[in-house]
Amino acid sequence: MEIIIKKDALSGSYSAARVVARLIHEKPDAVLGLATGSTPLMLYKELIRLHNEEALDFSRVTTFNLDEYVGLPADHEQSYHRFMWDNLFSQINIKLENVHIPDGMASDIPAFCASYEQAIIDAGGIDLQVLGIGSDGHVGFNEPTSSFASRTRIKTLTRQTVADNARFFDGDESKVPHHCITMGIGTIMDARMNILLAFGQNKAGAVAATVEGPTASIMPASILQYHPAAKMFIDEAAASDLKLGDYYRWVYDNKPDWQKDA
């Protein structure tokens, strides 16, 4: 896992966006896995800027989103469908038929989850997956103790995740759905590259446990230690609990020129 420590969330997001843009330039029909929430917003804003000002072309790109709440229709203001169209898709030239987001209103959720997995396979697999991390170490909605072999499925959210997400529902935990559809950890690990974004002091504990702690299902993101091409973009606050922070900075600053893609 490559640890990239930037001074703040903005510079970390811009660096991550350059990794995504480089992939699209090299492979115009790239398959992207995308995340929601506040963490990737600056990354998406930079991709929009690159599209508008530098002609970054999404016309052949295919996307698969990590997750969606169960019981929220696509047009609900807090659905992840709505989030993605408001914050990215409506502002780039991606084709509607190339966008895939879990259907929280599916009548047969297990069948839908199986079809979502098959759609990823049919698309050739995910080239690059964007991830955030929860304060308890979850990725997607793979809560602590999720199986490292898990695939797309329904999950029950922990009380901590419900509490963390209440800020999107007027601070009212009773409005937060308790179930979701999420890509599994096995699905995430199948991506050819994973980039994880984490910003702020409240993520420092999860970042340290993910990078320097043991690999354990109680800290789902820790499985990324085993991924052959995982990059973590963090700010100084999120890096504050790392024991080897100075080493990660030294490694990044001394990369050979040909390796400096972020």
Which residue, among 80, 117, 87, has the nearest Cα to 101 in the 3D structure? 80
Which residue, among 58, 22, 72, has the nearest Cα to 177 in the 3D structure? 72
- Could you say which of 46, 51, 67, 227 is catalytic? 67
Type and span of the H or E element at 161: helix 159-165
| Beta pairing, strands 67-69 & 153-156 | unpaired
| Residue 81 annotated to the active site | no
Q: Are 3 and 197 in contact (CB under 8 A)?
A: no
- Could you say which of 103, 117, 127, 143 is catalytic? 143
* C-alpha distances out from residue 137 to 32, 87, 101, 173, 210, Å: 22, 25, 23, 20, 7
| Residue 136 annotated to the active site | yes
The token duo for 204 is: 């420092």
Residue 39: count other Cβ atoms within 10 Å of its Cβ: 23
Q: How far apart are CA 236 and CA 204, in angstroms?
A: 9
| Residue 25 annotated to the active site | no
The token duo for 22 is: 């480089």
- Could you say which of 51, 81, 138, 227 is catalytic? 138
Coil, strand, or helix at residue 234?
A: strand
- Could you say which of 68, 103, 136, 164 is catalytic? 136
Show which residues are catalytic.
Answer: 67, 136, 138, 143
